[in-house]
């Protein structure tokens, strides 16, 4: 099987995984809207939580994957790993944006403002900005090997930065107590809600994997195309 065929096969499989995940997502939502009890104080708006929280978790997960793959790249020096790291970052950007838009949509009816500097929203905002910086930097470096090396350095720096950002936001927030926020936290949710929540996380993990598979395959095809166009005969 040629590399091109392998990439196309990966893309097809990624599409299947993605479609399965999207079907699963519809299922989760049917369950969330129809079968899961509505939270007393927040009403229907709370239902967005089943997208909002898992997508935030996945955004962070995507970032960690990018950071870890950066370390692996420095060890193995295989460009495939760099492409995988970048694919994870692109999917992570999208997930962060979803979280940052669903957050205010949820928040407005409940807090009365579109944006509150809630710890998790703020943290995800910074995550989003780091993803964007990573991708902007990649766009400005032409040589694939240099791009991989620079991305790896930035990825590792970002990985170490994440706990510091979390700590900073947390310490800042404890100075100024939140306005009264009614947000269901994990353990204190009734069983039905927890199940829906976990189901949603599972679906989003599969969605992440599906998207990354497709993006990675696409990146590989791009690389093969460049190699054909510019490479030695």
Partner 1 sequence: MLLSAEGLARRFGYRSIFKNIGFSLNSGDALVLVGPNGAGKTTLLRVLAGLLRPSAGEVKRNVSVGLVSHNSMLYDALTAEENMRFAARLHGTVSNGRIETLLDRLGMLRWRDERVGTFSRGMTQRLAIARALLGSPKVLLLDEPLSGLDDPGTEVVREVIVEHMAGDGGLIVVTHQFERLSAVATHVGYLVGGGLQGPSTMDGLSADSVMQRYRSLLADG
Partner 2 sequence: MASFMRVVTAIVAKDLLVEWRTKTAIVASLVFAILVLAILYFARDPTEVSSFAVAPGALWVTFTFAAMVGMNRAFFLERENRALDGMLLTDISRSAIFVGKMTANLLFVFMVELITIPLFVLFFNVSVLARLPALLLVVAMATLAFVAVGTLLSSMVVRTRFAELMLPVLLLPFLIPPIVGAVQITARLLHDRPLTEMMGWLKLLGSFDIAFVTLAILLYEVTLDE
Footprint of partner 2 on this chain (CB under 8 A)? 74, 126, 129-130, 133, 136-137, 140-141, 146, 149-150, 152-154, 156-158, 160-161, 164-165, 167-168, 171-172, 175
Question: With respect to partner 2, which residue has the nearer C-beta, 59 or 217?
Answer: 59
Question: With respect to partner 1, which residue has the nearer C-beta, 57 or 223?
Answer: 223
Question: With respect to partner 2, which residue has the nearer C-beta, 145 or 222?
Answer: 145
CB of 72 to partner 1, least distance (A): 19
CB of 153 to partner 2, least distance (A): 5
In what helix (H) or strand (E) does residue 184 lie, and over which residues does it extend? none
- Size of interface with partner 1, in residues (CB under 8 A): 11
**Residue among 127, 90, 110 nearest 181 (CA):** 110
| Tally of CB atoms within 10 A around 109 | 13
Q: Which two tokens stand for residue 37?
A: 């009890």
Residue corresponding to tokens 């720096």: 157
Residues in Cβ contact with 69 at an 8 Å cutoff, skipping those fewer than 6 apart: 81, 82, 84, 85, 88, 155
Helices 49-76/119-139 angle, 10° precision:
40
Sole binder of partner 1 in the list 24, 144, 184, 202 (CB under 8 A): 144
CB of 157 to partner 1, least distance (A): 23
CB of 70 to partner 2, least distance (A): 10
Question: With respect to partner 1, which residue has the nearer C-beta, 142 or 160?
Answer: 142
Go through the chain and tell me how many residues it has: 233
Question: With respect to partner 1, which residue has the nearer C-beta, 22 or 74?
Answer: 74
Instruction: List the interface residues with partner 1, window 197-226 (CB under 8 A).
Output: 223, 226
R_g (Cα) of the chain, nearest Å: 20
* d(C-alpha 180, C-alpha 175), whole Å: 15
3-class SS of residue 80:
helix
CB of 98 to partner 2, least distance (A): 20
Q: Which two tokens stand for residue 105?
A: 């949509």
Q: Where do contacts with partner 1 occur on this chain (CB under 8 A)?
A: 142-145, 223, 226-227, 229-232
């Amino acid at each position: 099987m040629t590399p091109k065929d392998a990439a196309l096969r990966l893309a097809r499989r990624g599409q299947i995984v993605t479609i399965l995940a999207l079907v699963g997502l519809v299922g989760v939502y049917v369950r969330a809207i129809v079968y899961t009890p509505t939270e007393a104080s927040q009403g229907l708006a709370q239902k967005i939580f089943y997208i909002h929280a898992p997508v935030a978790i996945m955004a962070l997960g995507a970032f960690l994957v990018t950071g870890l793959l950066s370390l692996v790249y420095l060890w193995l020096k295989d460009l495939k790993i760099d492409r995988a790291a970048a694919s994870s970052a692109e999917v992570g950007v999208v997930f962060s944006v979803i979280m940052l838009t669903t957050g205010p949509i949820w928040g407005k009816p409940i807090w009365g403002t579109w944006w509150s500097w809630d710890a998790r929203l703020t943290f995800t905002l910074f995550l989003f900005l780091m993803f964007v910086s990573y991708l902007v930097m990649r766009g400005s470096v032409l040589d694939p090997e240099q791009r991989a090396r620079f991305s790896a350095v930035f990825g590792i720096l970002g990985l170490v930065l994440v706990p510091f950002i979390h700590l900073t936001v947390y310490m800042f927030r404890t100075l100024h107590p939140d306005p009264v926020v009614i947000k269901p936290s994990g353990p204190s949710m009734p069983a039905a809600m927890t199940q829906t929540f976990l189901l949603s996380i599972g679906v989003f993990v599969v969605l992440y994997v599906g998207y990354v598979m497709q993006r990675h395959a696409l990146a590989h095809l791009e690389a093969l195309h460049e190699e054909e166009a510019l490479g030695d005969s």
